[in-house]
Amino acid sequence: MSLFDQLTQPNIMGILNVTPDSFSDGGQFSAVDAAVEQARKMLAEGASIIDIGGESTRPGSDSVSAEQQIQRVVPVIKAIRAELSEAVEISIDTSLAAVAEAAINAGATMINDISGGQQDSKILHVAAQYEVPIILMHMQGSPKTMQDAPGYTSVVDEVLQHLHECIDAALAAGVAKNKIAIDPGIGFGKRKQDNLDLLAALQRFVASGYPVLLGTSRKRFMGSICAVSDPTELVVATATTTALGVMQGVQLFRVHDVKENKQAADVAWAIKQAV
């Protein structure tokens, strides 16, 4: 049985960046003690998954070696396993097979790959070998270049087609169908209108039959709409997209601000159940 088989209502994935340079919380949780305390807080606020990443993927960021990512994430995963619930779902946010395997051996239970298995195809074989769920995201380009000049003829169709190609590759590598989820990749190689078009068409991704992860948390395109430059001031904007996502059938939400987004998801879910 996969976590994705048990998604009967919206689930919150709390972001735990153990990096010095993430776009809105870089350096805050680099120390193991601080990371564990943040994980404890997010679980108390309603997160059901903790997503741990050792590489910033903000626009313009440089890649981080597998060795450095492992050095950052493995001690945190081990500490969370030792100090918090044995049952907590821990996701490793990486596109490298070596990092994913080290994280799983340390206690991670799923993989979140922003490249959709495209950067290092061996990561698909790691997911298959260890029988862990994997989230496949769409990204045009790489974090370093993705916002230079993104462009689409029909963004929803193109992102869906790409994700189906990623799914086919995962299935061919031996990943079970019930262990695959997809993510349209809001903000990853997308213009503001592209992001809005994808958010308006989330039901088409849900109709694929695979669980959908939505990751809009504190994203810059919302700041341009709200005339806000500080990402930490976009909590309400993020929660708005969470509620809209719930109404369209999305069941996984990757966020920095767990409490607020859990409230938004719970209220939207109650309304959806009443319709």
User: What pLDDT is recorded for position 30?
Assistant: 66
3 occurs within a structural domain: no
User: What pLDDT is recorded for position 144?
Assistant: 65
Instruction: Label residue 204 by pLDDT band (50, 70, 90).
Output: very high
> Minimal CA–CA distance to 59: which of 181, 159, 185?
185
CA distance 271 to 273: 5
Amino acid at 125: H
Domain region containing 72: 8-274
% of the chain beyond a pLDDT of 90: 81
CA distance 93 to 113: 6
Residue with the bigger pLDDT between 174 and 24: it is 174
146 to each of 62, 149, 241, how far by Cα in Å? 12, 7, 22
Q: Is the pLDDT of residue 25 over 50?
A: no
Instruction: Label residue 140 by pLDDT band (50, 70, 90).
Output: confident
Active site residue ranges? 219, 254
Q: Which residue has the tokens 């990561």?
A: 123
141 occurs within a structural domain: yes
CATH code: domain of residue 146:
3.20.20.20
Q: What is the mean pLDDT of residues 131-156?
A: 84
Structural domain count, the chain: 1
Read off the pTM: 0.93
Q: What is the mean pLDDT of residues 223-234?
A: 95
What residues contact residue 113 under an 8 Å CB cut-off, 6+ apart? 94, 95, 100, 119, 123, 134, 135, 136, 137
CA distance 124 to 171: 9
1 occurs within a structural domain: no
255 occurs within a structural domain: yes
Q: What is the mean pLDDT of residues 163-179?
A: 98
